[in-house]
Copies of this chain bind each other. A is one copy, B any other.
């Protein structure tokens, strides 16, 4: 399967909209240069196209195999994983302490787009490993860090996140997995987890599970009582060598609509009361810690939407340019096909700006030397995260629908890539908190960030853009329509906050998804119009 991306648009956002040279002014990235960023992006794209994309279709056909004991990933994944790790791609954006590359997230976001666009199923393995390792790196004791983190970033061991249980999906607080304290400071883990991506596979010699569990006596039926544990598949000796198996059993793998190359496992911990785990950081801090990972994962979900949408669009465009139908014309000449392609293009470029700019806000929010600026940008990243996740995944799916329609009947058959894209991208709307959960997050948590100041500052930034450019000849009408939409979002947000203020939650909750879509549409409109202004100036 070929993978193509509009590199010109990628560069346009990074260099002319985001101005990613600003990142070099941050102490964290002082050792980098624009040339190095460019080089890393080139290298990532080349790797995506030459190494990852070629096994995307075959891994979908083959899927994962489970023999009742062990899971085998599709052919080629093991070798690819090692090459991927050797290139330093697993820990691209984490500190260099344990073997990360320390790149800004703003640069890693396009890299991730290239990789996921080439095979979202494959990318689940390094993605989960990075997330799990980074949790240990951020919250665990020095001892745990020294044992686990470097081996995970280097590709020697894999990682997973164990949250979901059959009765606890959206309501993580209802988990029943137990961690019984042992005399030596470790814990005995007992319970079952489902939907564990990369839960078992043959890519690495060991797999490190990060498992949410409750220590007996801690609050039940609430996220408050949850703690986080490192649970290796094979026990690790103090010197880092492998010991005995750790009573972690793979019960089953799911048969799914898409991302078939990604092993989604049901795991049983402690069937024989012999599963040892180690507490990460503070007791009962599990949910808070997990949220670091979940926030990152939500941005990556949106990025999956963008990446597959981009790949699907490029593929539909290439097809439309060569497929001849009617009057000897290529179909790209037919107005309805042009319409479909233009909607795809605008959506992809809008989502790309949304995702990249959110990554930029993340970087600024984390690394800016000025605390006030950090707060300002961190707020924007927090505000936009549920939009990235939800709008990115839903609109990404919508783009694959239009791409398939561009192909006509050929889009439905496996000979062409778009039906796989459609199946693969759908998962992003469902996992890491369904899109309905994201909408509640936007409404319930994000609008009220710093007492509503964050959304106010974000509104102000856009409003200033409108004022500054309202006389731009080509955008005059668009901006005046846009201003109405912007104000309508602001008014809706205000009225929701009034309602919830007087205890009326039903209507806002009923409208949360529509509100998220409305807000996201305005945000994307803003980024696209900013691009138009920039393009016109140059």
Contact = CB atoms under 8 A, between A and B. Distances in A.
Interface of A: 164, 167-171, 173-174, 195, 254-258, 264, 324-327, 334-340, 397, 401, 404-405, 408-409, 411-415, 419, 422-423, 426-427, 429-431, 434-436, 439-440, 506, 509-514
A115 to B, nearest CB: 21
B335 A509 contact: yes
A336 B509 contact: yes
A136 to B, nearest CB: 25
A169 B435 contact: no
Contact of A409 (B167, B327, B430): B430
A169 B409 contact: yes
Contacts of A164: 409
A195 B195 CA distance: 37
A324 B165 CA distance: 12
A257 B434 contact: no
Contacts of A415: 254-255
A445 to B, nearest CB: 15
6 contacts: A254-B413, A256-B413, A257-B412, A336-B509, A339-B514, A411-B430
B404 A337 contact: no
Contact of A257 (B168, B171, B423, B430): B423
Contacts of A171: 325-327
A324 B167 contact: yes
A511 B338 CA distance: 11
Contacts of A255: 413-415
Nearest to A173: B326
Contacts of A195: 409
- Closest 3 CB pairs between A and B? A171-B326, A335-B509, A257-B419
A419 B260 CA distance: 13
A170 B337 contact: no
A320 to B, nearest CB: 12
A407 to B, nearest CB: 8
Contacts of A167: 324
A376 to B, nearest CB: 31
A510 B336 contact: yes
A319 to B, nearest CB: 12
B338 A510 contact: yes
Given A257-B422, A401-B397, A513 B408 contact: no
A257 B436 contact: no
Nearest to A170: B325
A326 B409 contact: no
A434 B419 contact: no
Contact of A419 (B256, B414, B510): B256
B405 A435 contact: yes
A434 B412 contact: no
A404 B426 CA distance: 9
B408 A170 contact: yes
Q: Which of A168, A335, A413 has the most CB of B within 10 A?
A: A335
A2 to B, nearest CB: 19
A436 B340 contact: yes
A408 B434 contact: yes
A405 B514 CA distance: 14
B336 A440 contact: yes
A468 B517 CA distance: 36
Contact of A429 (B335, B405, B512): B405
A414 B510 contact: no
A26 to B, nearest CB: 38
B431 A409 contact: yes
A90 to B, nearest CB: 25
Q: Which of A264, A338, A413 has the most CB of B within 10 A?
A: A413
A5 B429 CA distance: 27
A429 B167 CA distance: 37
A449 B513 CA distance: 41
A423 B426 contact: no
B430 A408 contact: yes
Given A170-B326, A405-B434, A510 B412 contact: no
